[in-house]
């Protein structure tokens, strides 16, 4: 059986190593492979998932929302997030779910944050940001988006150029980066705008931590980075595809925080 990662520009992904280690540990004749798909080629990729030798897929940038119209069913978390990151083949049907929500919940547990009543600033407006919003149910959400007038997001939406942004992030109980910024050593916001007393979660994972996470840690802030999120969402996806408990220890050994 094969499982794929559908995305574009995904050569950096550690998901193949993590999932193939899990399959090997459990003695399963399954493989996890990258499937780099441009937006125009998404329909053909979805058709490939319907083959009998495919168990499912993960979905990442830029397909988490556009893939939804091509599926036969979508679970509750994915509907709430308006984004899918996991697809399971159930007979002839493709069913979408969102295990990014579980990943963000694991990060919140790591930093000791209860979302109820918290002021959270989410950088980004895509599928990962929407999954974070589901995990943060009960928080007061502000999204920072490139296209604030066009985004239907469950909270206040402001532009990156908004002059209120530094004050909002400075006062936030949670700053969560749901953009790709950080993979190439850039910071999504200036260091002076980091929360004064809040926590920082960065969904990006790079060896040694992103600049955002490293700076936040140097200031004594509680942080969680994308490695833990990757493990938690990956374990949840594994269980969706296989019906087996994920071997988290074997999966964790493939990651290099």
Cα–Cα dist 44/38, whole Å: 11
The region that residue 75 occupies, defined by phi over 0 for left and psi between -120 and 50 for alpha, beta otherwise, is beta
Task: Give 119's strand partners.
Answer: 140
244 is catalytic: no
Helices (H), 26-125: 42-49, 76-81, 100-111
CA angle 122, 126, 132 (to 5 degrees): 45
**Of these residues, 64, 184, 215, 244, which one is catalytic?**
64
Cα–Cα dist 94/209, whole Å: 35
Determine how β-strand 174-177 pairs with β-strand 156-159: unpaired
Residues designated as active site: 64
């Amino acid at each position: 059986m094969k499982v794929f990662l559908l995305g574009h520009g995904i050569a950096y992904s550690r998901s193949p190593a993590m999932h193939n280690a899990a399959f090997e540990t459990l003695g399963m004749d399954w493989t996890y492979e990258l499937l780099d798909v441009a937006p125009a080629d998404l329909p053909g990729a979805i058709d490939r998932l319907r083959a009998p030798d495919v168990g499912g897929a993960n979905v990442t940038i830029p397909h988490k929302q556009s893939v939804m119209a091509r599926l036969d069913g979508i679970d509750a978390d994915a509907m709430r997030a308006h984004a899918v990151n996991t697809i399971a083949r159930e007979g002839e049907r493709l069913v979408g779910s969102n295990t990014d929500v579980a990943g963000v919940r694991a990060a919140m547990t790591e930093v000791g944050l209860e979302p109820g009543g918290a002021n959270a600033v989410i950088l980004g407006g895509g599928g990962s940001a929407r999954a974070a919003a589901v995990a943060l149910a009960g928080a007061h959400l502000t999204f920072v988006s490139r296209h604030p007038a066009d985004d239907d997001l469950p909270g206040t939406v402001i532009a990156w150029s908004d002059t209120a942004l530094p004050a909002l992030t400075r006062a936030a109980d949670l700053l969560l980066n749901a953009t790709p910024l950080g993979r190439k050593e850039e910071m999504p916001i200036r260091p002076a705008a980091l929360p004064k007393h809040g926590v920082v979660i960065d969904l990006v994972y790079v060896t040694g931590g992103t600049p955002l996470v490293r700076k936040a840690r140097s200031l004594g802030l509680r942080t969680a980075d994308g490695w833990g999120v990757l493990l938690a969402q990956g374990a949840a996806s594994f269980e969706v595809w296989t019906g087996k408990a994920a071997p988290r220890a074997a999966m964790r050994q493939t990651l290099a925080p």
